[in-house]
Amino acid sequence: MFRNQIGRPAEYCTTVKTHTSPYCGDPGGLEFTREDLVTALNEMVLEYKKLSQPFEEVKAKRGSYATNTELVSSKDMQPALSKLETENEKLRSRTEEMICENQ
């Protein structure tokens, strides 16, 4: 069994919170039983689960926004792609004409 600095069992540890860290051993502080600590931990786990669900939803939405942004930018690229395809076709035609002229 874990014991605090003054030899008491950890479940009866007296806790004083300072700005740096909590520690055991101040007889004027509050006493927490093991049951109190387990209850507090369970409440923290439930709070974490409650907060993590909306976080995952927000993360998924942000991912879909990024996908939508990529689609918008690909739509913006479509006119440039069409222009390049037209230019490419003209160059192929010109190349074929030059080949025919050289034969």
Give the per-residue pLDDT at 40. 92
CB 5 within 8 Å of CB 25:
yes
User: Which is nearest to 11 in space by CA: 27, 34, 40?
Assistant: 34
Give the per-residue pLDDT at 17. 46
pLDDT at 1 over 60: no
SS3 label, residue 42: helix
pLDDT tens column, 2-55: 444 455 455 444 444 444 445 455 555 667 888 989 999 999 999 998 888 888
Give the per-residue pLDDT at 19. 45
Dist. CA 24–CA 6, nearest whole Å? 8
Give the per-residue pLDDT at 4. 47
Q: What is the pLDDT averaged over residues 72-79?
A: 74
Read off the pTM: 0.34
pLDDT at 72 over 90: no
User: Which is nearest to 16 in space by CA: 28, 34, 1?
Assistant: 28
pLDDT tens column, 18-31: 444 454 555 556 67
Average of per-residue pLDDT values in the chain: 73
Dist. CA 99–CA 97, nearest whole Å? 5
